[in-house]
Amino acid sequence: MNIPKALTIAGSDSGGGAGIQADIKTFQELDVYGMSALTSVTAQNTLGVQGVHSLPVPFVAQQIESVFADLRPDAVKTGMLFSSEIIAEVARQAARHRIDKLVIDPVMIAKGGASLLQSEAVTALVQQLLPLALVVTPNIPEAEVMTGCPIHSLADRKEAAKRIHDYGPAYVIVKGGHDAGSDTVTDLVYDGRGFTELAGPRVDTVHSHGTGCTFSAALTAELAKGKDVLSAARTARDFVQAALTDALGIGGGQGPTNHWAYRRQKGVSV
Ligand SMILES: Nc1ncnc2c1ncn2[C@@H]1O[C@H](COP(=O)(O)OP(=O)(O)O)[C@@H](O)[C@H]1O
Ligand SMILES: Cc1ncc(COP(=O)(O)O)c(N)n1
């Protein structure tokens, strides 16, 4: 039996709602074997990020080497990378291991406002990692930072997607969660030729901690199974929609999404 395998290169969220914890839970729920290479460890809960401890670059590299030496993943995603040094090493590893299904979630700022990427590292992310990516999944503020252009409308988002595509990824998905003015949430997929809008009803909830990690992990899991980018993105939207709709309601602040919800809605087989 061929077991699909996915690797996340990301930070740990001690609160379990975002970061590698969200990624591994999502891989598991989609029947994909999950592996991790940690870049940083955060002390974090639903109230915010209390501390960040970045791991030494050679040890980030060693984790990736260990995984590739034995368990070769079918798809890889990145999340919190924190520094330009870690980004440079991840880019080197991606090229060295010829990772073709590489999803870059350009994590910059936690929903609570804490910085998860040093500001001087944005250029490294754009110049070194985006050219290697199959898909990059910015939210609206991240797309603004990467392009230097404010986004107020869907037309602005389309323009940003085109500019980000020029940096080299095959697909750009500008997510719509931060477009608070609408009762529909639309994720915009751009493949360099045309746009596809993936829409769903906006869920009115504070429990949205980790939605971006969960979306990019579900996308990566589906790519690991051999799905094409558009169908993987549709499943990822459905996964997050279910995870937000059926909130767990735990923690005193911005709580985690429900990673069980999608499987429970679908029945046993996903
Ligand atoms: N309130 C919401 N209702 C429904 N879907 C949402 C909501 N907020 C975010 N999403 C979905 O969660 C995913 C992450 O979106 P977004 O919030 O834009 O990114 P991030 O979590 O990186 O800030 C996207 O697929 C988006 O459509
Ligand atoms: C370790 C880690 N990685 C990523 C996020 C972003 O998640 P969100 O923007 O949903 O808070 C986070 N809070 N912590």
Using a 6 Å cutoff on CB, does residue 237 contact ligand 1? yes
Q: Is the pTM of this model over 0.95?
A: yes
Q: At what angle do helices 84-96 and 57-71 cross, to 10 degrees?
A: 20
The alpha carbon of 188 and the centre of ligand 2 are apart by a number of angstroms equal to 21
DSSP tag of 201: E
Mind listing the pLDDT tens digit for each residue in 124-148?
Answer: 999 999 999 999 999 999 999 999 9
Q: What ipTM was assigned to the predicted interfaces of this complex?
A: 0.98
The alpha carbon of 211 and the centre of ligand 1 are apart by a number of angstroms equal to 6
Boundaries of domain holding 62: 5-266
What total number of domains does the chain contain?
A: 1
Mind listing the pLDDT tens digit for each residue in 181-237?
Answer: 889 999 999 999 999 999 999 999 999 999 999 999 999 999 999 999 999 999 999
The amino acid present at 88, given as its one-letter code, is A
CA torsion sign for 222, 17, 39, 31 is negative
* CATH number for 95: 3.40.1190.20
Nearest listed ligand to the Cα of residue 47: 2
Q: Which of 32, 69, 55, 91 is nearest to 223 (CA)?
A: 32
